[in-house]
Every structure is written in structure tokens, then in C-alpha cells.
Amino acid sequence: MLCNMHRACQLVGARHVQAVIMFFSAAVAFCTRTNMSVAIVAMTKKTPGIDVTTFDWDPSRTSLVLSSFFWGYVVMNIPAGQLSQRFGPKRFLAMSVLVSSLFDLLMPMCAMYGDWPGVCAARVCQGLAQGFLLTACYELLSKWAPPRERSRMVSFFLAAQPFGIVVGLSASGALAGSPAGWPSIFYVTGALGMVVGIWILFGVSECPAQHPSMSEKERQYIEENFGVAPSSERKRVTPWLSIVTSIPMISLVLAHCGHSWAFWTILTKMPTYLDKALGYRIQDNGLLSALPYVIKYFVSFAFAWLADFLNNGHYISLTLNRKIGNSVGLWGPAIILVVLGFFQNDSNTCVLMLTLAVALNGATYVGYNINHLDLSPNYASTLFGITNAMANIMSFIAPLVVGAVVSDETNVSQWQTAFLIAAGVSFIGNLVFVIGGSAVRQAWDEPKKSNPAGDIHLAENGSKQTQTGTPTTVEAHA
């Protein structure tokens, strides 16, 4: 019956509209995150023919401006997960996009009247607001992404990140060179964000039961596909001790941290390596700068369809499915980082290898990125808040370690050491995930409610089991 219902509901439905809104929410948020990296160049350098105010900020001040977003972002992830879980994600998702976009609109004024401290303050506020974005979306996905389609829906949503980076960097460069100058970057991004924020308010429903117009067939398909549906009780007590002592959860945290270290090493330091050590100025070619993220965007969909195919066909267990995806996404780039350090005279090969590393990284969308929903649909936003907070600490530490190791940016052997460290952290993070990770819904996730058949629990094979121990079969791969 479920398969017949799936065929009837596989076209565009309410769940797909929810995914599209979340996609654009994340895309505009990542545009906001990255637009400053382009804008600050125009803000500190007079461009002939463009009559806008510029600022005399030294490298230490520009670094403060660029990093200030994460001061607010890191501290808000765990509280945001709890708030989204307790009070519902819709209002926090809308608030996240609207507040972040409002400060984009105010950014030129903050710069004019507050100089770099004013810009830093605005960026901190944006970081605080965006701390709610991904946790709110994970809370929504825990209700809207049926297990049969989970890899595709989550990967589609996460693909907004490279999409937002590519569009944000490309559009910011074009706007900075327009007659309106660098302020237009913030006005355009801020206006788009306000439109998306209003769309969230009118288009998002917190769960299928609250959607005003979806078909009953689609609602039934989503609910039955979950097997044991996530709890609708918002004021449930979070099992903190069970979460922080859970081996699969600890493995998930370390996998996220390992990914973050390698990802930020590539994102922040690879252009410097190509420029200083190899004499290849990748920043002079906008297409090559964006190419790795464009390819990652498309490759991530291929990994998602493959993961759902393997899961729905029961070819491998869901746990093995997640571990394969994560291994491709973490060990693949780790190997490339090791090899990359030994290419001293072939910058074109380095660019191709960098592109391949970023593309392979898209496999993590069906690895650790989705694992929060596997372990705990009821506390997915809290789990993501924990892992994302820890991982963003790595995003601070990784560039600092590279800076400490690479004292001479023209010295290839020092870069080799930095790449080996990043590859090692990535390798260990995934090794722990391979050993201790799981895609089985954890016992501490299940709400303790009684019914005539007894309390429902999930057995190791994914079947329902009543309090008396009588198993009731459901899809093992759901």
C-alpha cells in the first residue's frame, strides 16, 4: 500500500514546496554570509568611476569584520535548537532570515556612521540571527522529509549552501563594479532576504498536520512512511545525558568537526597556497573560483539519489549507506589534500584536484549531515545545534593552525605539513564515525506514551516492538 501511495505522491506536493522554501532561505542566508568577503575589497579600495565612500581599514580590522559574523553564530546554535524544538521552527526561521536581511539593508549606514565597529556589530547580529536558520530547518525536515525521500530532500536543502556561495560571490562582484558601488551588494541581498522571509511566514507549515491545503493522500503517505512518527509534543524534556553519552552522537560530532577542519582549510587557505606557493592567482579567474562549488552542487544530487536508491531497494543497511557517503565525502578530500602538497610545479593539476576534493565533499550530505534525523527525529534540531557549534569552533581553529605552521607562504614543505594535519583530522573524524556511527533511531528519542498495544519502541532491525515484546513489522530501511 505504501508503495502505491508513494507513486501517487511522487510528483510535486506540499512537502516539496516546503523544501523549496527552506532551500531559498538557506541560499539567501549564505549570500549574506559571503557577500562581505567581496564587499570589503570594494569598501577599502577606491574604484575609478564609482563615487562611493571607502574606508582606510588595515588587515587586522578587515579580519575582525570578516570573522565577527561567527562570534554570534557559534554561541546561538545550541539555544536555537532548543527554542525551535520547544516553540516550533517556523517563527525562528522567518526571524532568522528577516533580521539577517534587515542588517544587510542597514549595513551601509552602519559603515558610514559606525565605521568598522559598526559593521562588526551588524555582522554579530546577523550571526546571532542565522544561528537559528539551520536548526529550524532541521526541525522542519524531521517532520516533512519521509525516510524514503530523506536523502534527496535533505541534500536538496543543503545544496543551497554552495548555491548561495556561488551566487553571492558572483553577484557581489558584479554589483561592486556597478555605478551604485558596494552599498548595492547589501541592498540587493537584503531586499531578496526580506521577500524570502515573508514567503516563510505565509508558506511554511510546521508539520503536515498543520498544512492548510495538502492532499489527504500525501499527508497519509508522509505519516505512514515514518513508521513511528516524530512526537508532536513540543514541551518534551530533552534527554541531555543520553545524548551526550551516546556513542553514535559522539561519532557524529567528531565527523562534523573533522569535516569542518578540512573544509575551512580548503575554503580559506587554498587560494593563498595556489597564489604564494605556486604562483597561480585563482582569484583572478572568477569562474575557477566558483567552479568547485558549482560542481559540488550538482554532484550532491547524484549522491542523494544513489543513497535513496540503495536504501529503498534494501540493498544495504541505512547505517552502511550513511558510512559510505561520509567516507567518500571525508576520506576522498583527505587523500587529495595529502597528494596536493606534493604538486610543486603544476598549478593546473592542483586546481583540478581542488575541484575534485570539493565535489567529493558533497557526499557528506548523505553522511553525517543527514544522520541527525536518523538518530533522533524528535531532537534533530538540538543534535544539529550541538554538532554545528562544535564544528564551527574548528572553523576558527583550522585557519589559525595553518597560519602557525605556514610561516613562509612560499614554502611548499610547510604547506605539506598543514595539509597533512587537515587530512589527519578529517581521517580520524570519519574513522570514528565508521566505527561508532549508526543510522538506527535511538531509544532515548522515542516519546514515552502509553497506548492500548503498549509503549512503542524501535528494535535494532527497525521493526516496531510493543511493551510486551511482540514485534510488528515495518520497513527496516525506513
Higher pLDDT, 206 or 437: 437
Q: Which of 38-47, 60-69, 232-241, 273-282 shows the lowest per-residue confidence on average (mean pLDDT)?
A: 273-282
What is the reported pLDDT for 460?
36
The closest of 190, 143, 141 to 168, measured between CA atoms, is 190
Query: Rounded CA gap, 25 and 33, in Å?
Result: 13
Higher pLDDT, 59 or 442: 442
- Could you give the maximum distance between any two Cα atoms of the chain, in Å? 79
Q: 10: pLDDT confidence band, cut at 50, 70 and 90?
A: low
C-alpha cell at 199: 514567503
Query: Rounded CA gap, 213 and 450, in Å?
Result: 31
What is the reported pLDDT for 231?
54
Strand order through the sheet with 457-458: 457-458, 464-465, 471-472
| Pairing state between β 457-458 and 464-465 | antiparallel
Q: 8: pLDDT confidence band, cut at 50, 70 and 90?
A: very low
Q: Which of 9-13, 167-171, 211-215 shows the lowest per-residue confidence on average (mean pLDDT)?
A: 9-13
| pLDDT(205) > 80 | yes
Under 8 Å between Cβ of 463 and 440: no
Query: Rounded CA gap, 51 and 387, in Å?
Result: 45
DSSP 367: T
| CB-based contacts of 323, cutoff 8 Å, min separation 6 | 367, 433, 434, 437
What is the reported pLDDT for 212?
86
The CATH number of 238-444 is 1.20.1250.20
What is the reported pLDDT for 344?
63
Classify the C-alpha dihedral 89-95-101-103 as positive or negative: negative
Query: Rounded CA gap, 147 and 209, in Å?
Result: 17
Under 8 Å between Cβ of 428 and 346: no
232-272: per-residue pLDDT in tens?
A: 555 678 899 999 999 999 999 999 999 999 888 877 677 66
376-432: per-residue pLDDT in tens?
A: 988 998 999 999 999 988 877 887 788 788 888 778 888 888 889 999 999 999 999
Beta bridge partners of 458: 464
Exposed (0-12), middle (13-18) or buried (19+): which is 337, by Cβ within 10 Å?
buried
From the candidate CATH numbers 2.60.40.420, 3.40.50.970, 1.10.1420.10, 1.20.1250.20, the one assigned to the domain spanning 12-212: 1.20.1250.20
Query: Rounded CA gap, 382 and 367, in Å?
Result: 18
Higher pLDDT, 162 or 252: 252
| pLDDT(202) > 90 | yes
Query: Rounded CA gap, 330 and 326, in Å?
Result: 6
DSSP 471: E
Under 8 Å between Cβ of 292 and 359: yes
Under 8 Å between Cβ of 77 and 131: yes
CA atoms within a 13 Å half-sphere pointing along the CA-CB vector of 233: 10
The string of DSSP letters for 259-273 reads HHHHHHHHHHHHHHI
The string of DSSP letters for 407-466 reads SSTT-HHHHHHHHHHHHHHHHHHHHHHHHH---SPPGGGS-----TT---EE-TTS-EE-
Under 8 Å between Cβ of 333 and 360: yes
Higher pLDDT, 231 or 241: 241
To 10 degrees, what angle do helices 59-87 and 133-144 make? Answer: 30
Judged by DSSP in three states, 472 sits in strand
Look at the block and give the residue holding cell 517532520: 143
Q: How far is residue 71 CA from its own chain's centroid? A: 18
What is the reported pLDDT for 474?
36
Look at the block and give the residue holding cell 585563482: 282
What is the reported pLDDT for 259?
94
Under 8 Å between Cβ of 367 and 329: yes
Query: Rounded CA gap, 414 and 269, in Å?
Result: 13
Mean pLDDT score of the chain: 82
List Cβ<8 Å contacts ≥24 apart for 409-416. 409/272, 409/273, 409/276, 409/277, 410/276, 410/277, 411/277, 412/277, 412/341, 412/344, 415/273, 415/277, 415/341, 416/341, 416/342
18-40: per-residue pLDDT in tens?
A: 999 999 999 999 898 888 878 88
Higher pLDDT, 78 or 450: 78
E strand spans, 81-195? none
Amino acid at 282: I
| pLDDT(161) > 80 | yes
- CATH 1.20.1250.20 range(s) for the chain read 12-212, 238-444
| pLDDT(228) > 70 | no
Q: Which of 130-134, 314-318, 399-403, 445-449 shows the lowest per-residue confidence on average (mean pLDDT)?
A: 445-449
Q: 172: pLDDT confidence band, cut at 50, 70 and 90?
A: confident
What is the percent of the chain with per-residue pLDDT over 90, rounded to a whole number? Answer: 38
What is the reported pLDDT for 450?
36
Amino acid at 17: V
Higher pLDDT, 42 or 236: 42
Query: Rounded CA gap, 55 and 40, in Å?
Result: 9
86-135: per-residue pLDDT in tens?
A: 888 999 999 999 999 999 999 999 999 999 999 999 999 999 999 999 99
| CB-based contacts of 374, cutoff 8 Å, min separation 6 | 318, 322, 438, 439, 440, 441
Q: What pTM, to 2 d.p., does this model score?
A: 0.78
Query: Rounded CA gap, 139 and 85, in Å?
Result: 7
The closest of 226, 148, 236, 255 to 444, measured between CA atoms, is 236
Query: Rounded CA gap, 276 and 279, in Å?
Result: 6
What is the reported pLDDT for 14?
87
The closest of 257, 247, 258 to 319, measured between CA atoms, is 247
